[in-house]
């Protein structure tokens, strides 16, 4: 018999559908007039207590605001304090420390990698500049520039500064625009 009694009396809390069934049930027909009056009185008393508690809470909240104003605490200061506390709590958390360590280590590795890449590139450029192919190319460029300087500015320029070359080029251009046959001869020399 005890096993049947346990089956009828569930120890589990009410589920959503159970609450709906209880709310829609009409228990007023099962209560006597005396029980109804007692429940109504209890209901009025609970409502009065809730109203009183709300008034007390409101008064305490006003008192809290007054104390904070006297202490010079305002909403902005509270937000700053809350933010500072949250920031401190986050920085002292294990997850933050592990993440910070990992990112710091990754940053160090990336810095080392970039440094190695930069060194390797510099070394490759140095090797390339010292290579016979580059030396040959460099000599050809120098020869071509010297040749152009000689043709444009005359034979007296062994090296000359940039300004001198620019000036001689401008001078040569002015002369070539003035005389027709001479201009054709200069163009032939430049093409060679």
Q: Specify the 3-state DSSP secondary structure of 110.
A: helix
- Global pTM exceeds 0.85: no
Domain spans in the chain, listed from the N-terminal domain onward? 32-92, 94-150
- Structure confidence at residue 71 as a pLDDT band (50, 70, 90): confident
d(CA 117, CA 126): 14
Average pLDDT, the chain: 77
- Structure confidence at residue 156 as a pLDDT band (50, 70, 90): low
């Amino acid at each position: 018999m005890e096993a049947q009694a346990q089956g009828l009396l569930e120890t589990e809390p009410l589920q959503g559908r159970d609450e709906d069934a209880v709310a829609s049930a009409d228990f007023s027909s099962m209560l006597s007039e005396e029980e109804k009056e007692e429940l109504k009185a209890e209901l009025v008393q609970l409502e009065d207590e809730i109203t009183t508690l709300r008034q007390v809470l409101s008064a305490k909240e006003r008192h809290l605001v007054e104390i904070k104003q006297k202490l010079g605490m305002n909403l902005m200061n509270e937000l700053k304090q809350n933010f500072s506390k949250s920031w401190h709590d986050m920085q002292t958390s294990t997850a933050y420390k592990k993440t910070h360590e990992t990112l710091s280590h990754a940053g160090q590795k990336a810095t080392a990698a970039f440094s190695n890449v930069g060194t390797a590139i510099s070394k490759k450029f140095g090797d390339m500049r010292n290579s016979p192919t580059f030396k040959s190319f460099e000599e050809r460029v120098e020869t071509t520039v010297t040749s152009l300087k000689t043709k444009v500015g005359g034979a007296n320029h062994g090296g000359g500064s940039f300004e001198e070359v620019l000036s001689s080029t401008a001078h040569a251009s002015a002369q070539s625009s003035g005389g027709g046959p001479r201009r054709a001869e200069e163009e032939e020399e430049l093409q060679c």
